[in-house]
Amino acid sequence: MSDKLLILVGSPRRNGNTAALADAVRKGALTGGSDVTLRYLDDHISAFLRDCRQCRGPDGECAIDDRYRSLFFDDFLPARGVIFCTPIYWYGVSAQLKAFFDRSFCYYAASYPGSQDALAAMARKRLGLVLASEETYPGVALGIIHQIQEFSRYTNSDFVGVVRGAGNSRGEVRRDPTNPVGNAQRFGRDIFSRAYSDYRLETPRSPRVWPESGLTSSSS
């Protein structure tokens, strides 16, 4: 069975730079044989997290009447990999993507009847990040990278990589000479096979990172 990959797009611009990179991830993932779903967060999230104690229904369900629940249960929880795609807004993720993380609280909080199952399914995913921004300097992405790293640590997931592209007008990211579109496509293709390491003192390891014969497999 193919690995399920979910691509979440946090930009409101359907023909913008984040969308172009997300589509490249999707194309790459299809060539890699993944079972891919791409969702625009705007189609699923119409409100921020509220006070769950005030707004949760008697059955424990979130009372906000939008499509977040199906996104979380049908797409996010079953996925083995998730790639978060967002424009950089004020040196952070877009409000759409932040709301995606915040709204999950309703289902993993102890007050939700199925919270243990939700927590178990949130864990141990392969996670990736794709960013579009106007500025090119490395620092512009650091806060977001840190946030996803902490989310990965908290959920015992593997944060396997980041693709960044620069552009401002719609689709301009395609002209970025660092080739983020190609990088995004390779990232989608390799998300489940890409080497990932995060050592501790006691981690057993080989003195070499790459096998002698495997050097070029992910560079094409």
State the nearest-atom distance from the C-beta of 31 to ligand FMN, in Å.
23
With respect to ligand FMN, which residue has the nearer C-beta, 78 or 143? Answer: 143
State the nearest-atom distance from the C-beta of 176 to ligand FMN, in Å.
10
With respect to ligand FMN, which residue has the nearer C-beta, 48 or 154? Answer: 48
State the nearest-atom distance from the C-beta of 46 to ligand FMN, in Å.
19
With respect to ligand FMN, which residue has the nearer C-beta, 41 or 79? Answer: 41
With respect to ligand FMN, which residue has the nearer C-beta, 94 or 157? Answer: 94
State the nearest-atom distance from the C-beta of 101 to ligand FMN, in Å.
18
Note the residues at the interface with ligand FMN (CB under 6 A).
Answer: 11, 13, 16-19, 87-91, 132-135, 140, 167-168, 170
Q: Judge contact between 66 and 45, C-beta under 8 A.
A: yes
- Angle, CA 217 vertex, CA 215 and CA 218 arms, to 5°: 105
Query: What is the 3-state secondary structure of 46-74?
Result: CCCCCCHHHHCCCCCCCCCCCCHHHHHHH
With respect to ligand FMN, which residue has the nearer C-beta, 7 or 19? Answer: 19
State the nearest-atom distance from the C-beta of 161 to ligand FMN, in Å.
19
With respect to ligand FMN, which residue has the nearer C-beta, 13 or 67? Answer: 13
Spatial distance between the Cα atoms of 16 and 96, rounded to a whole number of angstroms: 15
The first and second tokens of residue 28, run together, are: 């790459």
Spatial distance between the Cα atoms of 165 and 183, rounded to a whole number of angstroms: 9
- Residue 92 CB-half CA count within 13 A: 8
State the nearest-atom distance from the C-beta of 193 to ligand FMN, in Å.
27
Nearest C-alpha neighbor of 17 from the set 187, 213, 175, 155: 175
Say if residue 90 is exposed, middle or buried (CB neighbours under 10 Å; 0-12, 13-18, 19+). exposed
